[in-house]
Structure 1
Amino acid sequence: MGSEPPRSEEITFTRGPLRFRAIDSGPADGEAVVLLHGFPQRTSSWDEVAPRLHAAGFRTLVLDQRGYCATARPRGRRAYRLPELVGDVIALLDSADLPAAHVVGHDWGAAVAWGVAAAHPDRVRSLTAVSVPHPAAFLRAMIVSDQLLRSWYIGLFQLPWLPERLLTSRGNRPERALAGMGMTPEMIGRFRTEMVAAGAVPGGLGWYRAVPFASPKKATARVRVPTTFVWSDHDPALGRGGAERTAHYVDADYRFVEMSGVSHWIPEERPVELAREIIARAGS
């Protein structure tokens, strides 16, 4: 007899008028790990990481986040402020009847994970942030390093309609831009299917357009849960300045992991190593 296929089911929950979906997989009695994707990706960005967590006995909940999920795309920039994104994660935990979980995020998902850990430390057993440093470290790096130059696209994304047109155009301009960021042809194909064809690009851009409404006090609050920060030295968007300053904003056990020769897309490029770091942090 063959082994049974791994447990995997789609769960839904509501927060106000929004209806979210998440993929609940792995051992039902395992410690829960919440996986938060970034831009311009969706839940599939964790496809190579989650099974390795399952093999180690962890249950994973991969959230299709606000603006991406077809039934959770509110209008207006203020709907994408960090407290709203953090609240979505807490609503997921409540819907799954989880008092706390290990929280992992990549790119914008890391920014949300930092926010959840800072605002709700009682709900976070451990934090693994991937690529994006602590927000206060990021802001400091904008002043004292080349981070401002690396973040030029954030200003572009504030413009109306033009970013949508650039990212969804039929020519090869989006492909060239994403390839320049390190995406493989397979990843770019998923972007075309999961972001462009699914209509998720405007919602994803909403996260950037909410940046001017951020509360500096909430965005830069210190973190007091056990934390691992994973950064890669070939990331064109996020430099060493913020990575090396992140330790100053964590008042708990902290580990910095630098991956050499890896671009921004750590979950796809180094899933084995990333899963190992998540497991090490969650099990410590």
Structure 2
Amino acid sequence: MAFDLEHHQVPTNGIMLHVVQCGLPAGPLVVLLHGFPEFWYGWRHQIPALAAAGFRVWAPDQRGYNLSSKPPRVADYTIDTLGADILGLLEAAGREKATVIGHDWGAAVAWWLAAHHPERLRRVAILNVPHPAVLRQALRQMPRQLLKSWYIFFFQLPWLPEKLFRRRQFRFGRGALRGTSRPGTFTSEDLHRYTEAWAQPGTLTGMLNWYRAAFRRHRLGKQAMKNISIPVRILWGKQDAFLEPELAQLSLPLCEQGELLYFGDATHWLHQEEPAAVNMLLLEFMQADKPASAV
């Protein structure tokens, strides 16, 4: 069964998030969290598949991105605040629990939710981002990862990253997507959609402020170091240009019910390169939540 994409502005945590919704209103809620430099469209291959399986899918533009609110301060983008945005979406949906699936920065928010509010989640699926404790340690002790993370330090500069990103019709952003993915992953139409999102007023600073807030203010507390008690499935493209594949394996001991599946030929953008396989693994992982009457 095919469902239309519904575009809504949803109030949460003192701001408004643009949320694409799809599927049966009464279906189990799945929240899809994109990363940098994407927006809800990054889940275009997953939204219809999950909706057709009987789930109610919410895919927000997270704060600072595309059509969502873009608070001006770096302090408005701490991980606690980003997590509170998603808890507010659960309240707006009238749901006690949801499954959260995150990629890149969206996966970092999913890790935070799993560590701090496991009572609100059924399970989490993580795409190509390690547990925050593992990443923090890797940046201190793994030279290869520190080298791959050079851009994090560049993004701390004021205005210059925005200027570079905006030059020549967002050539930097388009080149980053195509240059770190398998050929054909991002079509010209896809990149047009991305440049439209990046051109929204305040978006470049909003999405870069995620990195600035993490660098300046994030402190890994004891609660974040605790094991994740709810079921976790980690999917990881081994050809990731930004993160070492062993970080996924190092994250498993911090998950009491953790699973890891590698994609040997996929990159950081595995859900767009291998949509059929990723969708199958996500649906298999959520089988216990699927309604009996689902197609």
Matching residue of 1:130: 127
Runs of 4+ in 1 over 4 A off after TM superposition: none
Distance 1:176 1:103 in 2: 29
Secondary structure of the 2:151 match is helix
1:246 pairs with 2:251: yes
In the TM superposition, residue 191 of structure 1 has moved relative to its aligned partner by: 2.2
- Residue 262 of structure 1 and its aligned partner are, at CA, apart by 1.1
1:276 has 2:280 as partner: yes
Do the aligned residues in 2 keep the contact of 1:147 with 1:241 (CA within 8 Å)?
A: no
Q: What's 1:89 paired with? A: 86
Q: How many aligned residue pairs are there?
A: 280
**Paired-residue identity, %:** 33
2:207 match:
204
Which runs of 5 or more structure 2 residues have no equivalent in the other structure?
289-295
Give the CA deviation at 1:8: 3.5
Q: Secondary structure at the match of 2:194?
A: helix
Question: Which deviates more, 166-175 or 87-96?
Answer: 166-175
Asked if the contact 2:118/2:229 (under 8 Å) is kept, the reply is yes
- The equivalent of 1:105 in structure 2 is 102
**Who is 1:61 aligned against?**
58
RMSD: 1.9
Q: Distance in 2 between matches of 1:94 and 1:19?
A: 14
CA distance in 1, matches of 2:61, 2:230: 24
Residue in structure 1 matching 2:32, options 35, 49, 56: 35
- Partner Cα separation in structure 2 for residue 266 and residue 197 of structure 1: 26
* 1:48 match: secondary structure: coil
How far 1:83 sits from its partner (Å)? 0.4
Candidates 243, 266, 269, aligned match of 2:270: 266
Alignment of 1:139-178 (within 5 A): 139-142=136-139, 143-144=141-142, 146-170=144-168, 172-178=171-177
Q: In 2, distance between residues paired with 1:173 and 1:72?
A: 24
Unaligned runs of 5+ in 1: none
Could you tell me which residue of structure 1 aligns to residue 293 of structure 2? none
Aligned twin of 1:115: 112
The alignment status of 1:216 with 2:247, answered yes or no, reads no
Question: TM-score by structure 1 length?
Answer: 0.92
Tell me by how many angstroms 1:39 deviates: 0.6
